[in-house]
Structure 1
């Protein structure tokens, strides 16, 4: 069936806000919460994540049906990349390695922001390049 491509962009926008708050506050616990959101998307699929649920329940009904669908596998991979950065950042913040937390959260924010604003999913591009290279 595929994903409505507007859902991952919505999730990226929410993620961008969360990560910006993490960078402003230095909250390792908020970054742990974001890591949990990423983990749910990786394990159960992007549509099962809290942001996917919010999109489907509150945003999608107010929009026209999508004109196209996208493969969820690249999005799931991208969520896995986000998970790695969020875990590294959370460990950094919680272990007192603030610079590590800031750098990891900033990289994750950069990727989420590109997706939210420009529709450029870096993790999806990584997935597609890897698939082409191994095919």
Structure 2
């Protein structure tokens, strides 16, 4: 499956805003809600709530992307985000605010880098793993 790379960047921007709110309010419940979004997105980009908003509201106004990217690295990145936000949620809900702050902060850094600079840390980790296991894949392909 190939996807428009602008969708995950939009989702990362929304995620960054949510994670700032998680940090400001030290909210385990909001971190848990973001973890649910990550879980749906890790299943498939089709199920991503933020991706649905992007495809319905923004993509028609932007036109076709110049290139597409494979969905597997993005799905892996969403899985990593799920783990980090679950740890943050458990930390906040268990009264271990430092744990929650650290993991929500790390997730925020990753979301910010993707939203602002297009640097998806989880995607890069996935591609590096593929290279290390001698199963490289193309990161992007021209759009039809």
TM-score, scaled relative to structure 1? 0.97
Partner residue in 2 for 1:123 = 122
Runs in 1 of length 4+ with deviation above 4 angstroms?
none
Q: Does 1:27 align with 2:27?
A: yes
Partner residue in 2 for 1:13 = 13
Q: Does 1:84 align with 2:80?
A: no
Deviation digits for residues 3-47 of structure 1 (CA, Å, limit 9, x no counterpart): 00000000000000000010001111000000000000112x123
Partner residue in 1 for 2:67 = 68
Q: Structure 2: which 5+ runs fail to align?
A: 135-144
Find the aligned partners of 1:16 and 1:91 in 2 and give their Cα distance. Answer: 19
Q: Does 1:41 align with 2:41?
A: yes
Instruction: Give the structure with the higher percent strand.
Output: 2
Q: How many residues align?
A: 134
SS at match of 1:65: coil
Deviation digits for residues 87-108 of structure 1 (CA, Å, limit 9, x no counterpart): 0000000000000000000000
What's the Cα RMSD here?
0.7
Q: Structure 1: which 5+ runs fail to align?
A: none
Instruction: Give the structure with the higher percent helix.
Output: 1
TM-score, scaled relative to structure 2? 0.91
Find the aligned partners of 1:11 and 1:46 in 2 and give their Cα distance. Answer: 10
Deviation digits for residues 78-122 of structure 1 (CA, Å, limit 9, x no counterpart): 000000000000000000000000000000000000000000000
